[in-house]
Amino acid sequence: MEGNLSPDAITSNLETRFIGQRVIYYSRLTSTNEVAKQEAQAGAVEGTVVIAGKQTMGKGRRKRVWLSPKGNIALSVILYPDIAKLPSLIMLASLAVVRSIKAVTGLVAQIKWPNDVLINGKKVCGILIESNMLGDTVDYAVIGIGVNVNLSPSDFPEISSTATSLSNELGGEVSLLGLIRRLLVEIERLYLALLAGGTIYEEWRDGLVTLGKEVRVASGKTIYEGMAESVARDGSLLLRCSDGSLSKIVAGNVITYD
């Protein structure tokens, strides 16, 4: 299966203009985000994708480890957006994953704010966006996407109660190559829409499973509790607290549902 992930197999007749037209593939790598950041610093063309058969030090959000064995997707896409588009990358990445999962498997996934992708309440995909600024301009942004595709969660006790995979939901293997190619197409569609001045905010908001729920959110050292009322156009979460006040949370992690 891994042989299918050669750069040629990924790029051949890929219906994109630039996303995934250059692919750097490693069968085993520490972290695709780390290598993508080095490639971006060295001036890689926009849309370059770094992809790994497996990662040995996959990075999660909030300094967590991301489990990334063979059979899953671990890839990072290099972009050079202007600063105004940066907050939308969170929306773009999760929407591209939801769309491609639906197209390839028929499964309906939801987004847990800000950008975890869930199926039946369990995490199937994590997204880590890292960017570097030079003054007021974006030097580069790297969108790192990890999707549990052909993984048996019960083989990994550390995630077995919280994670799922596409094969687990479907009861059969899923084509990694097919899903990767579709993901690259969806990323480009959404990115071109953004560049053309369109908005992807409404589709992202409507895909959020978090809204309308009582949540606890860890943001830095602060814990917020309240009703997830809405999201702002910049992607931040609007939380109605028990005293009636509205907190705007720019970055955080939803840690429990009541």
Phi, psi for residue 137 in degrees, rounded to 5? -110, 155
Can you read off the two tokens belonging to residue 3?
């042989």
Among 10, 95, 104, 145, binds ligand BTN (CB under 6 A): 145
* Amino acid in the structure at residue 201: Y
Nearer to ligand BTN, 14 or 159 (CB): 159
Looking up tokens 């499964």 gives 107
Asked if 128 touches ligand BTN (CB under 6 A), the answer is: yes
Window 94-123: residues binding ligand BTN (CB under 6 A): 116
CA distance 42 to 19: 18
Looking up tokens 């080095």 gives 38
CB under 6 A: which stretch of 72-80, 92-100, 157-165, 175-183 binds ligand BTN? 72-80
Asked if 127 touches ligand BTN (CB under 6 A), the answer is: yes
Window 9-68: residues binding ligand BTN (CB under 6 A): 31-33, 55, 58-61, 64, 66, 68
State the nearest-atom distance from the C-beta of 246 to ligand BTN, in Å: 27
The DSSP line for 215-231 is EEEEETTEEEEEEEEEE
Phi, psi for residue 252 in degrees, rounded to 5? 175, -175
State the nearest-atom distance from the C-beta of 110 to ligand BTN, in Å: 15
Cβ-Cβ contacts under 8 Å for 123 (sequence gap 6 or more): 112, 116, 117, 148, 159, 162, 163, 164
Asked if 204 touches ligand BTN (CB under 6 A), the answer is: no
Asked if 144 touches ligand BTN (CB under 6 A), the answer is: yes
Question: In the complex, which residues of this chain contact ligand BTN (CB under 6 A)?
Answer: 31-33, 55, 58-61, 64, 66, 68, 74-76, 116, 126-128, 144-146
